[in-house]
Structure 1
Amino acid sequence: MSEIPTQSLGAGAPALVSPLAASLGFAEAFGEIAATAARREREQRLPHAEIATLKSLGFGALRLSADDGGHGVSLSELFALARDLAAADSNIAHAFRNHFWQVEAALQRRDHPFHAHVLDLARRRKSVGLSFADSDATAAGARSSRVLSRLEWDARRQVYVGSGDKVYATGNLYNDAFVGVAVESRANDTVQYVLERGEGVATEDDWQGFGQRLTGSGTARFRDVVVQAAHVYACDPPKAPEAAPWGFTFHQVYLTNCIAGIVRRVVLDAVAVLRTRQRNFYHGEAAQPADEPALQALLGRIRAYATSIEATAQRAVQALEHAAQKNGTSDEYASTLAATLAASEAKVVIDDLAPQVASWLIDLGSGSAVSSVAALDRHWRNIKVIASHNPRLYKERLLGQNLLTGQLPPTGAFF
């Protein structure tokens, strides 16, 4: 069960690799990642080589134009490709999230030198991670993990120096550069910076989650790292008062999109399980499990739910893309609010249904599906770990409040 079935599937069955992925040259890489995902899970082998291959193919530059060294895909196509990758291995898709967000933000402000630097890194097949907190949340119990919060000027070397730790630094184990916000010591001003990986940068694989084990979500440690003066930039100007305040919907949709990719993989694995299962229960109605009516019905249920989950995720993606197209216009506020609510609706539904689909895979295979060699349990575990980001309970309440009173969503990254 470690490989995607090679037999042709029936009409309407999901494909691991979409025509778009194939046309952009990712088919072979995605196929190899899918075929070896269970083995990596068993061996706890971090996908350094797989991620390096994707970067060399320009996966991190998907949104840059062809003239700018990228693939020129739309935002909706970016999410479709990320979903393909999540079907192959959700760990790898998740590891690219912060990079894609940073590139997306840079595309909106490409004239600013900080964002131009980020785009240049993507153009050079480098990936970008974060060295600051994901939220400015100040609620009771919230703990900021902001690091490199101060850059000290070293007059002798004419560089800035900083230190700190970032906990839960998803993807940083694989990233080539890191961006953040800090106070620089000379003028005591808040600045943005780009730190390329070098001496003093270390990322530990100390993430202890029961799923998404290979995302590189450990602790990033920065010890007297050098930030070049030319890589320290003025912060973006503040948004206009009428601008939409919800700036983190991309993150939410991306994670939900990853879950949809996992569910697609569940369908493919379910077909393989039923085709290769040799023995039926004595009280079954057919000699072969593949001919058993109850199991055929369960496979159909898995297919139907998976198709609905992908459609729900795509609805949120389309709302996000529409909002991005309205950035800076009079429609920005309304479209961004609509995208945030659509992201919340998708998360509530998908976080509830996707674990059920992954559980049905085990029901379908029964004792044939519980082998640690196949590692089919990783789908349920990965779904639940991704879903644990910003629990759906708060989104359910917000959606109800919004209907009753017009309550608006929080604006922090952790919602």
Structure 2
Amino acid sequence: MSETHSSSPGGIALVSPLSASLGFADAISGIAATAAQREREQRLPHEEIAALKALGFGALRLPADDGGHGVSLRELFAVARDVAAADSNIAHAFRNHFWQVEAALERREHPFHAHVLDLTRRHKTIGLSFVESDAKAAGARPSAVLSRLEWDDRRQVYVGTGDKVYATGNLYNDAFVGLAVESRANGTVQYVLERGEGVGTGDDWQGFGQRLTGSGTARFRNVVVKPAHVYAADPPKAPEAAPWGFTFHQVYLTNCIAGIVRRVVLDAVEVLRARRRNFYHGEAAQPADEPALQALLGRIRAYAASIEASAVRAVEALQRAAESRGTRDDYASALAATLAASEAKVVIDDLAPQVASWLIDLGSGSVVSTAAALDRHWRNIKVIASHNPRLYKERLLGQNLLTGQLPPTGAFF
């Protein structure tokens, strides 16, 4: 079966006109063509991610006159969805970077965020170096201060050591940001650490899906942070500001799943075209002419369209929230966005694995070979969906209707 995907006769395309107009068509198509091979070989996509960086993928949101592509938030998600359709590992690996850029665009006058934007302008990507434990008590709020920078008087630099668990994308990032306690004043600072000596390059991620995101442990051992790259912490938000600051993260992941499901549709077309033998009890000589299989392909297409529409609805709500920031509609639009994100996740997390399973039904025994790696779609969907489980979203949505209960405000909802 061919691993190239452009479009089907029904008009479902891997690459959107937007991505093509921005110059990403060849890169995205190339990523799609080699995705199954990378999966089989467990080959981390360093070259593919580097190629996207060079094209300015990480700088999509920067203004065109500032080294970026000047796209809107909704357009960012549209291009990221195309990349997820090609290889969801690669799209997922950029999530933390894109979030840092969004935060920096809001506060670009602050030197820390100006530094992030400067790195982005130079086609660098930024990850996280917060030192975390994955053993949090149920209901406990994670500490805001998760690491420490010790002053080295001899070298006149700061030195830090720690581990970041679930460090998605860090293997591919050029710099890392975090909060720390600065040893001289014993106060909280934020810093930018550029990749160098002491930054680990190992991959211990053991997930059964999204295997190539580098989502294991990022290790930092006596890394050096220049004093000029240590900054005052951001001031607290104004009391009237909307408290839901992490909706972006959830919408981004749900958007990645929508991209995978689009790829399932394209793979389903090729699977059915490639089948040469029908079951003896079928009604047609060729599987592509079999009514039952044509109907299943139609079902896959319809469900995929609904999944993508649900994701786009959440993206649109996030776009409106971004446009309302700082206005009197800030609170209401941010609340609407986090509820829309929850609604989309509940529906998509439920339906997307089913669509991926139907792909196997469509191909039957002819597609279970590891050579095609079609099982990766189901596995990748389930691993992405495991972030912030939908059960809690379902409960919140019900509570909100019954009592007006508001969503949690932390990063892990």
TM-score between the two structures when normalised by the length of structure 1: 0.97
User: Could you tell me which of 135, 147, 150 is aligned with 1:149?
Assistant: 147
SS in 1 for 2:207: coil
Instruction: Report the AA paired with residue 312 of structure 2.
Output: Q
User: What is the number of residues matched between the two proteins?
Assistant: 413
Q: Which residue of 1 aligns with 2:287?
A: 289
> Partners in 1 of 2:219 and 2:330 — Cα distance?
38
Long gaps (5+) in structure 2:
none
- Deviation (angstroms), 1:140: 2.9
> Partners in 2 of 1:172 and 1:94 — Cα distance?
11
User: Could you tell me which of 355, 358, 361 is aligned with 2:356?
Assistant: 358
Instruction: Report the AA paired with residue 123 of structure 1.
Output: R
1:262-315 residue CA offsets vs partner (Å, 9 max, x unmatched) = 000000000000001000000000000000000000000000000000000000
> Partners in 1 of 2:141 and 2:184 — Cα distance?
28
Deviates more, 1:135-144 or 1:242-251: 135-144
TM-score between the two structures when normalised by the length of structure 2: 0.97
> Partners in 1 of 2:134 and 2:114 — Cα distance?
24
> Partners in 2 of 1:3 and 1:346 — Cα distance?
29
Q: Which residue of 2 aligns with 1:4?
A: 4
1:341-396 residue CA offsets vs partner (Å, 9 max, x unmatched) = 00000000000000000000000000111111000000000000000000000000
Contact (CA 8 Å) 2:132, 2:165: kept in 1 or not? no
Contact (CA 8 Å) 1:135, 1:413: kept in 2 or not? no
What aligned pairs does 1:24-103 form with structure 2 within 5 A after superposition?
A: 24-103=22-101
Contact (CA 8 Å) 1:148, 1:164: kept in 2 or not? no
- Deviation (angstroms), 1:232: 0.4
- Deviation (angstroms), 1:158: 1.3
Identity %: 85
Contact (CA 8 Å) 1:2, 1:39: kept in 2 or not? no
Q: Which residue of 2 aligns with 1:172?
A: 170
- What's the Cα RMSD here? 1.8
Q: How has the CA–CA distance of structure 1 residues 134 and 116 changed in structure 2, closer, same or farther, with 3 Å as cutoff? A: farther
Aligned: 1:239 with 2:237: yes
User: Could you tell me which of 312, 321, 331 is aligned with 2:310?
Assistant: 312
User: Could you tell me which of 197, 205, 208 is aligned with 2:206?
Assistant: 208
Aligned: 1:181 with 2:179: yes
SS in 2 for 1:233: strand
Long gaps (5+) in structure 1:
none
Q: Which residue of 2 aligns with 1:334?
A: 332
- Deviation (angstroms), 1:188: 1.1
Contact (CA 8 Å) 2:131, 2:162: kept in 1 or not? no
- Deviation (angstroms), 1:204: 2.1
- Deviation (angstroms), 1:155: 1.5
Contact (CA 8 Å) 1:163, 1:222: kept in 2 or not? yes
Aligned: 1:324 with 2:334: no
1:302-336 residue CA offsets vs partner (Å, 9 max, x unmatched) = 00000000000000000001101111111111100
> Partners in 1 of 2:329 and 2:132 — Cα distance?
27
Aligned: 1:390 with 2:368: no
Instruction: Report the AA paired with residue 10 of structure 1.
Output: P
Deviates more, 1:113-122 or 1:126-135: 126-135
Q: How has the CA–CA distance of structure 1 residues 90 and 184 changed in structure 2, closer, same or farther, with 3 Å as cutoff? A: same
Q: How has the CA–CA distance of structure 1 residues 345 and 135 changed in structure 2, closer, same or farther, with 3 Å as cutoff? A: farther
